[in-house]
Amino acid sequence: MNSPIEVLKGFFGYNQFRGNQEAIIKAVLNKKDTIVLMPTGGGKSVCYQVPAMVLDGFTLVISPLIALMKDQVDALNANGIPAAFLNSTQSQSEQRYILQEVEQGKIKLVYVAPERLFSQSAPLSDFLQSSKLSLVAVDESHCVSQWGHDFRPEYLKIGQLRKLLPNIPFIALTATADKLTRKDIALNLGLKDPQWFISSFDRSNITYRVEQKRNSFEKLLEFLEEQQGNSGVIYCLSRRNVEETAEKLQSVGVSAMPYHAGLPREVRERNQEQFIKDETKVMVATIAFGMGIDKSNVRFVVHMNLPQNIEGYYQETGRAGRDGLPSEALLFFSVGDSITLERMLEKADNPDYVAIMKGKLAKMRTFGMSRTCRRKYLMNYFGEEFPDSCGNCDICFSQGSARDMTVPSQMLLSAIVRLQESYGLGYTILILKGSKSAKIKEEHTKLSVYGIGKDQPEDFWKTLGEKLMKEGYIAEAGSQFPTLKLTTMAWDKLKKKEKIFVAMDAPQKKTSKEVSYNKELFEALKDLRFQIAKKEDIPPYIVFSDATLVEMATYRPNTKEGLMDMAGVGATKADRYGEEFLGMIIRYIKSHNLEVKKKLTASRATVKLKASTGVSDTGWLTYKYLQDGLNTYQIASKRNMKVNTIESHLVKLVKNGKVEAEKFVSKDDITTIRVFYRRLEDKRLKPIKEHFGDRFSYCQIKLALAHES
Ligand code: ADP
Ligand code: ZN
């Protein structure tokens, strides 16, 4: 029998357990019932996957989402762990075959949906009682609680299963923290004196930022520019917003796709698939998106509108950074949004519900306006203590650079009051500047504040106005023609004649410790990963996570042993992908005269992604060489890259319209390939290649189809 740490190292490629993992696994192996509360990305899966490989027999995993099951099974298989799922998309004989393999001990983990347990046609419960079952894991176990927003009645059946299997340990896992849900999990699943493992819900790798919603689209573009090439989700309130935003982003060349419940299912699924496979970088979506995805390399989540409550906001932002690398959560805040949401809530006819939801909305609004550390606010909301500052949110970044802005702030605030709180920032600034513009109403030129701010430039007032909004002194009401109002906090300050401190500079960028890794090599490794994933028809993050590639780009290992020191490279992946990744690294360090860095595995440093500004896009260099007249082979040898990689650049360039496919495949051949492709039901490359045999290379086929679908 393998020990847990051997399994962790050998199959998952990790050198040590994280947080509570080890204690949880110990309890499970001691046959205790356990309940695990851990945030998204905390590493819940390892808590039952490692025991599954330590114990004889097999582990049953109950999970609500078919899409996630496939992902988990793919990920396990990629690590060399035999796993399978049973669901309604499979034929009877297929399912029988899987169960046979389970009986023969060929499969260690079986994923099922809860409805399968006692289904009328083929209940699993009989099979489970007579099989070599060693452990039952209940994933997303908050689904058993009526209090939660994900309640699934079928989960209540798990309690029956618990009774039928008195000697089998159960482990329940969830990332939902609230107290009522916790109680329900223990109660409704019928767990026996369960041992609780509660981790902090803090997601320390996520940076929280709140921006005023004014000019949100321009601000979004600036943000996306910094995030170049990264994968992320942009949440919008309405379907219309989703479509508009996606279109606008596409029109400026951002690789974005829409997702909402109103789109035809095929479109939705296709867009989601493209996102998961890194073919589309940005998903613009309503909150309908996200439940069924497990993508670990989501680098940012943006909310264009105020979410309805902190629970939703936290869950949605939590989809960023599951791999533990630094990630961003950006919220565009406006009081107007909160008024719109309140009106929507009032339409519901259950008054209790309306009252509760309004209370939650108020907390969300306070989050946006508050000047306390965002993380502290979130943690306190979920009932966790937290120090006053986290050092990784916009509020914490701006502290320290705050200056005394009492006098100009008083000017601006009184101008707003003198204007009866009925005008926007632009007009208020014109008054302060004593503008002679025709827009100014006659009576306003007589106000005491008219012209009192003419010594400062317009930009100064604009920045100050925005900062005062951000700091919660000024609220903006109305969406089309927003007007400024003073908040109670501002009135308080004025009354008490307290000083007002404002940080006028742009918020500092992160100052956290960063280990530098080679960005160009990282991009090349990402390209290689993308190619392999495409060939194997699995999501790239299942081949290796971003975190693993960052390690490779940091330490640049040139031997198989060295490669296996990288977190996330287990024996199977080293065998399966090692050669290709090592090849790329070795070529790269040779051509750049770099050395291998020794990794001190005992003190595994957490590697942090550097803000990705000024990326040297590797595809761009290929483009330059193409323009110089080099062919793909010449470019590959010049760049010390695989021809495959260069060809993938080429396909991208054709897709982007930078290069014409006709230069590489004749017009007639393109037509031939396209006609065949359009008649195909199964739109994969393989059948096309098989049909044409040696007549066309994969690359030629891809080039011919670059503008299809
Ligand atoms: P959760 O299910 O809690 O959201 P996962 O089980 O998907 O989290 O784990 C999140 C990420 O952390 C995955 O990429 C996983 O492989 C990685 N991970 C889990 N345990 C460890 C560990 N002990 N060391 C390093 N990485 C780990
Ligand atoms: Zn903070």
Domain co-membership, 374 together with 421: no
Q: Going by CA atoms, what residue is nearest to atom 25 of ligand 1?
A: 14
Q: What was the pLDDT predicted at 78?
A: 93
Asked if residue 580 has pLDDT above 50, the reply is: yes
pLDDT band, very low/low/confident/very high, at 633 (cuts 50, 70, 90): confident
Q: Going by CA atoms, what residue is nearest to atom 27 of ligand 1?
A: 43
Q: Going by CA atoms, what residue is nearest to atom 19 of ligand 1?
A: 43
Ligand 1 midpoint to CA 135 (Å): 20
Query: In sequence order, what are the beta bridge partners of 284?
Result: 234, 258
Asked if residue 236 has pLDDT above 70, the reply is: yes
Ligand 1 proximity of 323 Cβ (cutoff 6 Å): yes
Q: What was the pLDDT predicted at 162?
A: 94
Q: Going by CA atoms, what residue is nearest to atom 14 of ligand 1?
A: 323
Choosing from 439, 469, 502, the residue where a domain stops is 502
Ligand 2 midpoint to CA 266 (Å): 41
Question: What is the tally of structural domains in the chain?
Answer: 5
Domain co-membership, 384 together with 458: no
pLDDT tens sequence across 518-531: 889 999 999 999 99
Residue range 602-614: mean pLDDT, rounded: 28
Q: What was the pLDDT predicted at 27?
A: 97
pLDDT tens sequence across 89-102: 888 889 999 999 99
Ligand 2 midpoint to CA 469 (Å): 18
Q: Specify the ligand 1 atom closest to the Cα of 12.
A: 16
3-state SS of the chain: helix, strand, coil percent to 5? 50, 10, 40
Ligand 1 proximity of 545 Cβ (cutoff 6 Å): yes
Q: What was the pLDDT predicted at 177?
A: 64
Domain co-membership, 129 together with 230: no
Ligand 1 proximity of 14 Cβ (cutoff 6 Å): yes
**Residue whose CB lies within 8 A of the most ligand 1 atoms, among 199, 322, 323, 569, for a mutation test:** 322
Contacts with 645 (C-beta within 8 Å, 6 or more apart), sequence order: 524, 527, 528, 531, 584, 636
Q: Specify the ligand 1 atom closest to the Cα of 44.
A: 3
The pTM of this model reads 0.70
Helix (H) or strand (E) run with residue 704 in it: helix 698-704
Q: What was the pLDDT predicted at 515?
A: 53
Asked if residue 472 has pLDDT above 50, the reply is: yes
**Is 591 part of any domain?**
no
Q: Specify the ligand 1 atom closest to the Cα of 42.
A: 3
List phi, psi (to 5°) of 291. -55, -45
Ligand 2 midpoint to CA 594 (Å): 38
Residue range 361-374: mean pLDDT, rounded: 93
Domain co-membership, 193 together with 230: no
Domain co-membership, 225 together with 353: yes
**Is 509 part of any domain?**
no
Choosing from 362, 383, 398, the residue where a domain stops is 398
Asked if residue 658 has pLDDT above 60, the reply is: yes
Ligand 2 midpoint to CA 382 (Å): 16
Q: How far apart are CA 424 and CA 295, in angstroms?
A: 42
Burial class (CB in 10 A: 0-12, 13-18, 19+), 5: middle
Q: Going by CA atoms, what residue is nearest to atom 2 of ligand 1?
A: 44
Q: What was the pLDDT predicted at 506?
A: 58
Q: What was the pLDDT predicted at 613?
A: 22
Domain co-membership, 544 together with 491: no
Domain co-membership, 179 together with 32: yes
**Is 60 part of any domain?**
yes
Ligand 1 proximity of 47 Cβ (cutoff 6 Å): no
Ligand 1 proximity of 4 Cβ (cutoff 6 Å): no
Domain co-membership, 161 together with 67: yes
Ligand 1 proximity of 51 Cβ (cutoff 6 Å): no
Residue range 460-468: mean pLDDT, rounded: 90
Least confident of 8-22, 149-163, 568-582, 661-675: 661-675
Asked if residue 609 has pLDDT above 50, the reply is: no
Ligand 2 midpoint to CA 393 (Å): 4
Residue range 259-266: mean pLDDT, rounded: 95
**Is 596 part of any domain?**
no
Q: How far apart are CA 395 and CA 386, in angstroms?
A: 15
**Residue ranges making up the domain that contains 670:** 602-704
Ligand 2 midpoint to CA 361 (Å): 21
| Ligand having the closest approach to the CA of 398 | 2
Q: What was the pLDDT predicted at 513?
A: 39
Residue range 11-37: mean pLDDT, rounded: 95
**Is 507 part of any domain?**
no
Residue range 153-170: mean pLDDT, rounded: 94
Q: How far apart are CA 285 and CA 291, in angstroms?
A: 12
**Is 127 part of any domain?**
yes
**Whole-number mean pLDDT of the chain?**
88
Q: Specify the ligand 1 atom closest to the Cα of 39.
A: 3
Ligand 2 midpoint to CA 237 (Å): 26
For 219, how many CA atoms within 13 A lie in the half-sphere containing its CB?
A: 17
Q: Specify the ligand 1 atom closest to the Cα of 139.
A: 2
Choosing from 453, 475, 502, the residue where a domain stops is 502
Least confident of 123-127, 156-160, 464-468, 469-473: 469-473
**Is 508 part of any domain?**
no
Q: What was the pLDDT predicted at 144?
A: 92
Query: In sequence order, what are the beta bridge partners of 329?
Result: 208, 301
Ligand 2 midpoint to CA 453 (Å): 33
**Is 59 part of any domain?**
yes
Domain co-membership, 159 together with 36: yes
**Cβ(288)–Cβ(272) below 8 Å:** no
pLDDT tens sequence across 485-515: 998 889 988 888 888 888 776 555 544 434 5
CATH number of the domain that residue 92 is part of: 3.40.50.300
Domain co-membership, 175 together with 222: no
> Tokens 């347990």 appear where?
117
CATH number of the domain that residue 570 is part of: 1.10.150.80
Ligand 1 proximity of 235 Cβ (cutoff 6 Å): no
Domain co-membership, 247 together with 394: yes
> Tokens 């493992």 appear where?
197
Asked if residue 139 has pLDDT above 50, the reply is: yes
Ligand 1 midpoint to CA 604 (Å): 15
Q: What was the pLDDT predicted at 584?
A: 96
Q: What was the pLDDT predicted at 604?
A: 31
Ligand 1 proximity of 71 Cβ (cutoff 6 Å): no
Ligand 1 proximity of 46 Cβ (cutoff 6 Å): yes
Domain co-membership, 147 together with 11: yes
Q: Specify the ligand 1 atom closest to the Cα of 38.
A: 3
Q: Going by CA atoms, what residue is nearest to atom 18 of ligand 1?
A: 43
List phi, psi (to 5°) of 117. -60, -50
Ligand 1 midpoint to CA 373 (Å): 27
Query: In sequence order, what are the beta bridge partners of 135?
Result: 59
Burial class (CB in 10 A: 0-12, 13-18, 19+), 495: exposed
Tokens for 200, please give them: 């902090």
